[in-house]
Amino acid sequence: MKSCPQCNLRYPSDSTTCFLDGQALTHLRDPWLSGTIAGRYVLDELIGIGGMASVYRARILLSDQTCAVKLLNPQLAVDDTTRERFRREAKHAQRLSHPNIIEIFDQGDASDGTPFLVMELLEGQSLSELIAAGPTPLERALPIIVQMTRALARAHDFEVIHRDLKPENVYLLRGDRVKLLDFGIARCNQDVRLTSAGEVFGTPEYMAPERATSSDAGPAADLYALGVIMFEMLTQKLPFDAPTPAGILSKHMVEPPPRLREYMPDLPALLEQLILDLLAKSPDARPVDAHQVLAVLSEIAAQEKIAIEPEGDRASEQPLRRLSSTPTQRWVRRTELVEKLVREVYGELPPPEAMATLRVMKACANELAALRQRGIAEQTSLDRMHREWKEGRVQQGKAMDELTIHVSKVREEARVLRAGVIPLSKKSKSFLPRVREAHQKARFWEGRSGFQEPYRELSLAYRDLADIIDLWHDARHAEIEVEAAAVEKERQAAEIDQQIREMRHNLVVADRSMEDLKVKHLEVIADVGQRADLLELELMRHCGRLCNPMRERADFSSLASEFTY
């Protein structure tokens, strides 16, 4: 594929000059900029290159809506496991459907088999750029942290663990609206087959101690990474740093985190304690889940009088876009312009070969217009279906939030009760030696008295034994009560967990049904797009054949200005 350096029209590879301005055509350096992806996405500009993928600014062919297209790098596309991890990013982000998680609209394979993702185009900066500028004031940091935690809460509610939470994967839009990115190495319960034994993914600076020795770390590992990011945002320092990855991991495993108030004496004590809790070495010692973290953050915000925007889905409020018919008629209009110029040049009797070419162009343009209209109809149906699915997802997400917030509180209550059983059990057991000792003393005086003489020491021994048994009874009863309360809370949590599992299962079934319907529309759009691409190239060839001989005419420039519109 070639393009004109002056007007940017794209031409077939066998073309040499632009029929509008006579400029020599140049080969496009990036082959992805030469056409459409899956017949529906036009790539306009490379905006990012990473070790795994490249990201392009793009637009949807039938609507001109801007988007971003992420393409797996060719050297990685041959590996099935890497391809599946790449696709998993779309799967996870789509199933979560949260305002603080990047929205992925589509996924598939390009004509050469390269996997691609289509996502919302973000404009702003990464959290790492904000941190590089200096410590983040608490009044700015806290709302950002709350949004990150909300995103994690939604991911964990749907059994998705990010596994590479770091500032580079947190994007800030205008107004510090957070988008959590890159679920490429994320994991859920169904992803075990994608991680080989001994494989460890992530970034050492943000990796929980258990991640260094196991790939099976749970949601608590993400909470640990959140604690590291919170520490770094507020101080512009990492809690653990070393010259080598191994050194960093070692510090995560054995060194206690530094106290934040050494750097920020005015930091709220509750916030410092929350970060230290998140950085606990044992997963069980960290907050029970992201919802508990949110509860503490809300308390801190209230104490510090920092406004936190309510959680909502702004995207769900956007109206369904109307697709323009302009692209469908573009070549009909262009063909009319070329015919007008031909008749002005040749009069009422143009050469037969010119008229034959015009007839072919009209047929191609009309077919192209019909194809584009069909594509628009399919895209409109797809957009409406996606909108309804997303609205349903938002409502289901809210219902899930209610259940998970409830179960979070119940789990924390159960954990507190279970922790309270331990000292009560120790106290109850501590009475056993005293009971045995008092009992032996009573038996001694029983022997001395032989129940023949009323020794006062015997009555005192009985009273002492009775008093100790009363204390033992009270302690044991308290232990049994707390144990029963803990068991009841655990039963309630298990019951809510079952409701959550059923909801997740129903969502998976609904998603599969949605995907089946979506595939049918996408196949039609792709077929239409591929045929339309071929027709456009054919029309460009015919235009060149007709227009090159007429380019020197004075009125040709008016055609050029209208043609590129």
Going residue by residue through the chain, which has 565 residues, state the pLDDT in tens, using 9 for 90 and above: 777 887 777 777 778 888 777 788 888 778 788 678 887 888 988 988 877 889 999 988 776 778 999 998 888 888 888 888 788 777 777 778 789 999 888 888 888 888 999 999 999 999 999 999 999 999 999 999 999 999 999 999 888 888 889 999 999 999 999 999 987 655 554 444 344 444 456 789 999 999 877 656 789 999 999 999 999 999 999 999 999 989 999 999 999 999 998 889 999 999 999 999 999 999 999 999 999 999 999 999 999 999 999 886 444 444 444 445 555 678 888 899 888 888 888 887 888 999 999 999 999 999 988 888 888 888 888 888 888 887 887 788 888 888 988 998 999 999 999 999 999 999 999 999 999 999 999 999 999 998 888 899 999 999 999 999 999 999 999 999 999 999 999 999 999 999 988 988 888 888 888 888 888 888 888 888 888 888 888 998 898 888 888 777 756 666 666 766 5
- Residue 178, φ and ψ in degrees, nearest 5: -90, 140
Query: How far apart are alpha carbons 127 and 173 in whole angstroms?
Result: 10
Residue 392 identity (one-letter amino acid):
G
- Nearest residue to 64 via CA among 329, 379, 324: 324
Q: What six digits make up the tokens of 36?
A: 């459409």
**CATH 3.30.200.20: which residues of the chain?**
35-121
Whether 266 is catalytic is no
Nearest C-alpha neighbor of 165 from the set 132, 119, 205, 209: 205
Amino acid (one-letter) located at 465: L
What one-character DSSP code corresponds to residue 240?
S
Residue 348, Cβ density class (10 Å: 0-12 exposed, 13-18 middle, ≥19 buried): exposed
List Cβ neighbours of 143 (8 Å cut-off, separation of 6 or more). Answer: 176, 306, 307, 308, 309
Kindly give the interhelix angle for 269-278 and 219-235, rounded to the nearest 10 degrees. 140
Q: What pTM was computed for the model?
A: 0.75
Beta carbons of 458 and 445 less than 8 angstroms apart: yes
Q: What is the DSSP string of 181-192?
A: ---TT-B-GGGG
Task: For residue range 236-259, list pLDDT tens digits in order.
Answer: 999 999 999 899 999 999 999 999
Q: Select which of 157, 164, 191, 313 is catalytic.
A: 164
The CATH architecture assigned to 327-561 reads Orthogonal Bundle (1.10)
Tokens matching residue 372: 């584009």
CATH number of 125-316: 1.10.510.10
Ranges of CATH 1.10.510.10 domains, the chain: 125-316
Q: Helix and strand tally (H, E) in the chain? A: 12, 12
Residue intervals in the chain for CATH 1.10.287.1490: 327-561
Instruction: Just give the CATH number of 35-121.
Output: 3.30.200.20
